[in-house]
Structure 1
Amino acid sequence: MEELFIQWLHEYGYVILFIWSTLEGELGLIMAGIMSHTGHMSLPIAIFVAGLGGFVGDQVYFYIGRYNKPLIYNKLKTQRRKFALAHLLLQRYGWPIIFIQRYLYGMRTVIPMSIGITRYSAKTFALINFISAIIWATITILLAYFFGEELLQLVEYGKEHYYIAIPFAIMLGGGIYYYLHRVTQKAGKKYLGETK
């Protein structure tokens, strides 16, 4: 299984990196940095692909907010506090919040959607978002690139002492299950609402 995963990374590494980067992918960027360190990826191309993925992801969230306001207001009721906080941050700090939003845990998808709801210029958002995404990709991948040997040693240690990772794997699995359960519930409610 491990060999198959490594083969996929070698064959489709840039595609996987792009997709991962559109979906809040710091882990994908770290893997790209390690693969650049080992020579399996080109460092400049990895940074560009990851930055482009991060840019595209946030642009999608922005336009979801811009053209789906009823969906945002009605379907994402559980996120209202985060949307209120995003509006407050935008009013207080202006454009820098677009620049740093990808570093704010739990707010990366909310802030672009929240900005999309407002009358904020789409061109200005796109420009700041692109610069921010490239810097985010550069910093994360370069750190993993320069500390590649240490990270590989950590991975090897984890493989030898896998039992240490069991609690983290359970938490990760539980988190994924909870997320998928919520998504399917929302999709079901939306479908039932539309068919009534």
Structure 2
Amino acid sequence: MTETLHQFVEHYGLMAVFLGCLAEGETVAILGGFFAHQHVFALWQTLLAVFAGAFAGDTAFFALGRSFAQTGLVRRISRKPGFDRARQLVTDHPNIYVLSNRYIYGMRILGGVVAGLSGIATARFLVLNAISAAVWATLFCGFGYLFGLGAEQIVGRALLHHERLLVAFAIGVIVMAAAIAIARHLLGREKAREHRAG
């Protein structure tokens, strides 16, 4: 069973990394870095897949806001907590907003749509988005690579196939739990701010 899973990761893992990074993707990027350390993927291929997914995802959300502002989907997104604050931020500090938006868990989709609805030029967004995606890919793949290095230091040898999968599962659980806790905290703060403003 573990051998089959490992072969699946080897054959389809980079495509999964690309697809996983289209939306939030932090967990997937970290897992990609971990498997790159384990020589399941080449590091440069992992970085490229993470970068391409992050760049393509945010560009698609930007295009959604720019070209489909009147659709029901964009209207629903515009009613989410934090939308008005994000719109104010992109208006006041467009460069900083585009460069930093992807680092706030739960804001990638909302943030890209807000940028599309703003007056920021498409070429400017694409350049800033590429810079941000490159830094993000390096950072989160680097975290995963360090996880792999740490796991080998603890075990004292190269990880076996089933150990790789167990460590990957543990990384996923830890990162998802942390992300959910942070997202709940930020959402609670935003709701409290809107309540005070209302």
TM-score between the two structures when normalised by the length of structure 1: 0.73
Instruction: Provide structure 1 residue ranges, at least 5 long, that are not aligned to the other structure.
Output: 176-196
> Offset of 1:37 from its aligned partner?
0.9
Aligned residues: 165
Normalised to the residue count of structure 2, the TM-score between the two structures is: 0.72
What amino acid sits opposite 2:8 in the alignment?
Answer: W
Paired residues for 1:110-121 under 5 Å: 110-121=110-121
| Corresponding residue SS for 1:31 | helix
Q: Report the CA distance between 1:73 and its aligned residue.
A: 5.5
Once residues 151 and 16 of structure 2 are traced to their aligned partners in structure 1, the CA distance between those partners, rounded to angstroms, is: 20
Within 1, Cα distance between the matches of 2:127 and 2:121?
10
SS of the residue corresponding to residue 69 of structure 1 reads coil
- Structure 1 counterpart of 2:30, one-letter code: I
> Aligned partners of 1:140 and 1:75: how far apart in 2?
30
Matched, 1:14 2:27: no
Do the aligned partners of 2:33 and 2:144 also contact (CA within 8 Å) in 1?
A: yes
Counterpart Cα distance in 2 of 1:120 and 1:148 = 40
Identify unmatched segments of 5+ residues in structure 2.
156-161, 181-198
Aligned-residue offset at 1:94: 2.3
Residue of structure 1 equivalent to 2:53: 53
1-structure distance, mates of 2:102, 2:116:
15
**Which of structures 1 and 2 has the larger relative contact order (alpha carbons within 8 angstroms, sep 6+)?**
2
- 1:34 deviates by 1.1
Query: Root-mean-square deviation (CA), in Å?
Result: 3.0
> What's 1:182 paired with?
none
Cα shift at 1:150: 2.7
Bigger share in helix? 1
